[in-house]
Structure 1
């Protein structure tokens, strides 16, 4: 089943209020909408709470991948109570062809599983190896029915939402569904 722009925007607008700046309450004039009080933000919090409850599934998948690759789990903040919209992790590829990559090697692939809808994304520098395919296989086995968001949709800017890590007019569909962690690995 093909993912549509309209489908993704419905998910984004269901969890991020349109036209409301994400300021602290002290900076919002009386009578103006406060970001954290919106129904949309409440849905984002509920999704993050579900993500915390279902974290053992993510953690088991991360351990399986971590046994094969140099991996960093970027979802610890979710467990700490933040309202992240996705699970996220990065894989480090070795600079050299050494047998044991170190964390000083560059992160060249990140992957994300959305808590807002049945979507995942892989942000890859495109190095010729089996890692991307292995990550896809793990995600699809762990989260049946989840689909990748194509770049032509994921990179589209959502002009009227603001969130942690992206100001109004800067957030893409990828950032809204996967958080600003999406931007931490630049593809080639």
Structure 2
């Protein structure tokens, strides 16, 4: 190796800001990362790398040597989009394995060769289920086996096999001659050497890459690409899966709650340009119980949106939406917030949904 771990980390920190991008809720603010000197340097390096004739000449040689087998995965580089490397695959016609991946870093003088493998891990399902109801997708934070919410639990859903792909650096025998030929060309063209997994999988503290959180990011993610999983996943690392249930399997009480929520959010979404444009996908998250405070907050937002509607449908149907909002406000005001939603509220929601069909396009979340 031409560099020590500390020297490689020093290279990473030139292109990835340390301690930037984490939000209070543990997520990642990608824009904060992009607004840094380090990211600007990374983007400029990507664009410059896209113009390197050595890369284009090497691709032509490999394409001639392996006709019809090469796929260039770096066409995005002129935009400065992502990755710290050139990437391409070779799909050998007589190989029983996945295509061979080649990554050549333009941030450090190293390259890697791998192929993807898939591992299946059986996990117990978590206390969460999804259901499509009244043209709305709901995520219900309850066990799909709770008889209070699911009338006919399906025991076959208690566990699920999750398939996860990861990078394997052990190639099949029929892949090795191709990998060796291309590796020699890479080394001759760029004067680089292969980075072994024991180095590339070292964790990098204090930085994010893509959607990876600090403590999850590896040298491979930063110097090459964050599009792969570089270590074989263990059962402990895999998240428990949720399940989908049929609307016909919901209990009457859950049907009542979701009916009111569907009507409430249908009014709000009709008035929201980001939903109507189809630029985002919206779901409703619930614990399966109707909360007076939640509906009251939604109504307050609806009132603001109704003051000056911004969507064509909202403008055209302003009076109808105002009337619907007033009815719901009256029903919520007269409800003590305990137990299931009143029958009158469910009846109102059912009538509204029946007379307010979903558009074939933009109105669907």
TM-score using structure 1 length: 0.78
Cα distance in 2 for residues equivalent to 1:178 and 1:24: 19
Higher RCO (CA < 8 A, seq sep 6+): 1
Q: How is 1:18-167 mapped onto 2 (pairs within 5 angstroms)?
A: 18-21=18-21, 23-25=29-31, 34-54=32-52, 56-69=53-66, 70-95=69-94, 106-107=98-99, 109-123=100-114, 124-128=169-173, 129-144=176-191, 146-167=192-213
- Structure 1 stretches lacking a partner, 5+ long: 26-33, 98-104
- Change beyond 3 A, Cα 1:24–1:161: closer
Task: Tell me the CA shift for residue 162 of structure 1.
Answer: 0.7
Two-structure CA RMSD over aligned residues (Å): 2.5
Match of 1:101 in 2: none
May I ask how many residue pairs the two structures share in their alignment?
Answer: 168
TM normalised by structure 2 equals 0.42
2:63 and 2:229 map into 1 onto residues whose CA distance is 21
> How far 1:173 moved relative to its partner?
0.3
Q: Which moved more, 1:162-171 or 1:65-74?
A: 162-171
What is the distance in 2 between the residues matched to 1:48 and 1:95? 34
The structural deviation recorded for 1:125 is: 4.1
Contact 2:83 2:226 in 1 (8 A): no
Q: How much does 1:92 deviate?
A: 1.4
Q: Which runs of 4+ in 1 moved over 6 A?
A: none
Q: Which runs of 5+ in 2 are unaligned?
A: 22-27, 115-168, 233-365
Question: Does the residue aligned with 2:76 lie in a helix, a strand or coil?
Answer: helix
Give the conservation status (yes or no) of the 8 Å contact 1:95–1:106: no
CA radius of gyration, larger in: 2
